[in-house]
Amino acid sequence: MKRYAIVCAALILAAACSRQEDKPAAPAAQAVAERQPPLASLPKIDGGAILERIKVISADEFEGRAPGSKGEELTVKYLEEEFKKIGLKPGNTDGTYVQNVPLVGITGSNTQPLTIAKGAQKQTFKWSDEVVAWSKHVADSAAIKDSEVIFAGYGVTAPEFDWDDFKGVDIKGKTIIVLVNDPQVPEASDPAKLDPKVFNGKAMTYYGRWTYKFEEGARRGAAGILIVHEEGPAGYPFQVVQGNLREKFDLVTPDKNMGRASIEGWITLEAAKKILKTAGQDFDALKKQSLTREFKPVPLGLSASMAIGNKMRTLDSRNVLGKVEGNDPNLREEYVVYTAHWDHLGVGAPVKGDKIYNGALDNASGVASLIEIARAFMSVEPRPKRSVLFLMVTAEEQGLLGSQHYSVTPVYPLDKTLANINVDGVNQWGRTKDITVVGMGASDLDDVLRDAAKEQGRTLRPDPEPEKGFYYRSDHFNFAKQGVPALYVDTGVEYVGKPPEYSQQKRDEYTNVDYHQPSDEVKPDWDLSGAVEDAELLFAVGFRVASAARFPEWKAGNEFKAKREGMLKKSR
């Protein structure tokens, strides 16, 4: 799970945030939810049961639920047993509750530091402090040697925005240095604002995600890809990047990931400035050029060398899945898919003597909440027309791998999959008058959610930091990337009976103290009454979509709409 670092830091900003108003549903979209039982008539969710389940799978015995560990064995066993107990049918067509996810774990070490040469003049950069890099090649070693260095702007090719940073320049075998995020292009009439027509203005598009930069560089045959870390546009400090130095997992692909660049990684802003200075270039000037469509890659007259040694192990991890069968024989083969990742970080560096990263909130809480939603589906009469799949995915913390595996090797065809609803962390601080929609305005699912929230007397609130690209950072994104409309909500910010600063205070507390730390444990002061309301809301949304007259759609202008329409056209 990824958390907001800052929501609305000052009261002035908080006021500005709360003025961001939610748009009413378009009439066509309302059809998705029409003629459905009122939320109040649906089964209730039991907060006590959610808490008990969180306690079970976040207990020390589960060792922080790392893929491939004893914690995985216990978690998978628990999920299978609970699915059976509540009456879910096996989610896999082979009659089991699991989908195998073959993973390779790679621990890299720097066998030769990053060295930038200008003729005979050489500069080396410190591993971890200045350079964090790895190789996804399933091989004992990987290297770049005297590889020509090119500054490639944002490293983006985006036809829908008429943008191409590469301009046909051949980068095969070369090393590119690229900027993080997508181009932040100012509006011509008001340069204080970002142009909403270019990369959706302030909001991050997928072109801004670091994973995209490595994918695009690899498509073009780059040998090395180094992203310049800038804290603001990245959304997190360099320490988070350094987390990549522990064992990294990947799906095992037929080409052993040889289609990826030999070396992928990050350099600090200071290191980037140094390298560019050696080339007689200025970082700020190049960054400015990179904000125009006229930008062309800049050969730096430098060469880069670096080597990485890989220690590897392969392991089979598992997604766990169970289903509620729809009651309409004609629609039963169509699915709404709920996801929550069961994995967390396992056992790691001790903090205050504790080395078990329990991941109670991240994401034992999401798993627990989905089991209770599944139980509600089993007790509702009549059942929805379509089937509902509960998919607990592995290896989210390793780069959304379990959900990626499902999305490229789905058990049920994606053109028969109406929607994905993902839960990554629940609200542990009490009831809220609102609920945050990450990537609000993406699809019709927002309208179904809005109607249901209204029945609870609650409102939707847009993600206050769309620039940080949270929509691309949890498991629903893999569904979106393949075209399936996906809904991802986060805790609201207006707490019932609490002062306005309460939400920010609690978030900061969690982000600074517990996020991805051994102290992410069940706390005595947790109040899951808000989590219960959120779960009832997400239950209602899934229930309504599963019985609706038509499939939900992406809104016009969404980057995944074309993919969905192409998929549905082929199948109909």
Q: What is the contact surface with Zn ion in residues (CB under 5 A)?
A: 1, 362
* Minimum CB–partner distance for residue 470 and Zn ion (Å): 12
Pairing of strands 263-268, 346-351: unpaired
* DSSP, residue by residue, 24-76: PPPHHHHGGG-S---GGGSPPP-HHHHHHHHHHHTSGGGTT--TTSHHHHHHH
Phi and psi for 488 in degrees, rounded to 5? -140, 115
* Minimum CB–partner distance for residue 524 and Zn ion (Å): 23
Pairing of strands 346-351, 434-437: unpaired
Please identify, using beta-carbon distances, which residue of 65 and 287 lies nearer to Zn ion. 65
- Three-class HEC string of 314-380: EEEEEEEEEEECCCCCCCCCCEEEEEEECCCCEEEEEECCEEEECCHHHHHHHHHHHHHHHHHHHHC
Can you tell me the distance from the alpha carbon of 439 to that of 20, in angstroms, rounded to the nearest whole number? 14
Please identify, using beta-carbon distances, which residue of 3 and 287 lies nearer to Zn ion. 3
* Minimum CB–partner distance for residue 521 and Zn ion (Å): 14
Q: Residues near 505 by Cβ (< 8 Å), separated by ≥ 6?
A: none
CB 20 within 8 A of CB 318: no
**Chain centroid to CA 535:** 20
Please identify, using beta-carbon distances, which residue of 250 and 362 lies nearer to Zn ion. 362
Please identify, using beta-carbon distances, which residue of 64 and 105 lies nearer to Zn ion. 64
Please identify, using beta-carbon distances, which residue of 342 and 406 lies nearer to Zn ion. 342
Please identify, using beta-carbon distances, which residue of 12 and 349 lies nearer to Zn ion. 349
* Minimum CB–partner distance for residue 520 and Zn ion (Å): 9
* Minimum CB–partner distance for residue 490 and Zn ion (Å): 13
In the bound complex, which residue of the shown chain has the CB atom lying closest to Zn ion? Answer: 1
Q: Where are the beta strands (DSSP E) in 246-297?
A: 248-251, 263-268
* Minimum CB–partner distance for residue 319 and Zn ion (Å): 17
Can you tell me the distance from the alpha carbon of 234 to that of 244, in angstroms, rounded to the nearest whole number? 15
* Minimum CB–partner distance for residue 539 and Zn ion (Å): 24
Please identify, using beta-carbon distances, which residue of 130 and 520 lies nearer to Zn ion. 520
* Minimum CB–partner distance for residue 358 and Zn ion (Å): 12
Number of neighbouring beta carbons within 10 Å of residue 569: 9
* Minimum CB–partner distance for residue 248 and Zn ion (Å): 15
Please give the structure tokens belonging to residue 47: 């907060």
Please identify, using beta-carbon distances, which residue of 165 and 514 lies nearer to Zn ion. 514
Secondary structure element (H or E) that encloses residue 436, with its range: strand 434-437
* Minimum CB–partner distance for residue 10 and Zn ion (Å): 27
Please identify, using beta-carbon distances, which residue of 362 and 533 lies nearer to Zn ion. 362
Give, to the nearest 10 degrees, the angle between helix 529-547 and helix 445-455: 130
Please identify, using beta-carbon distances, which residue of 58 and 110 lies nearer to Zn ion. 58
Please identify, using beta-carbon distances, which residue of 1 and 101 lies nearer to Zn ion. 1
Please identify, using beta-carbon distances, which residue of 365 and 420 lies nearer to Zn ion. 365
* Minimum CB–partner distance for residue 361 and Zn ion (Å): 9
For the chain, give the number of residues. 572
Q: CA-based angle 209:215:219, to the nearest 5?
A: 145
* Minimum CB–partner distance for residue 1 and Zn ion (Å): 4
Pairing of strands 417-422, 486-490: parallel
Number of neighbouring beta carbons within 10 Å of residue 436: 22
Phi and psi for 546 in degrees, rounded to 5? -70, -15
Can you tell me the distance from the alpha carbon of 469 to that of 462, in angstroms, rounded to the nearest whole number? 13
* DSSP, residue by residue, 379-413: H-SSPPSSEEEEEEES-STTTSHHHHHHHHS-SS-
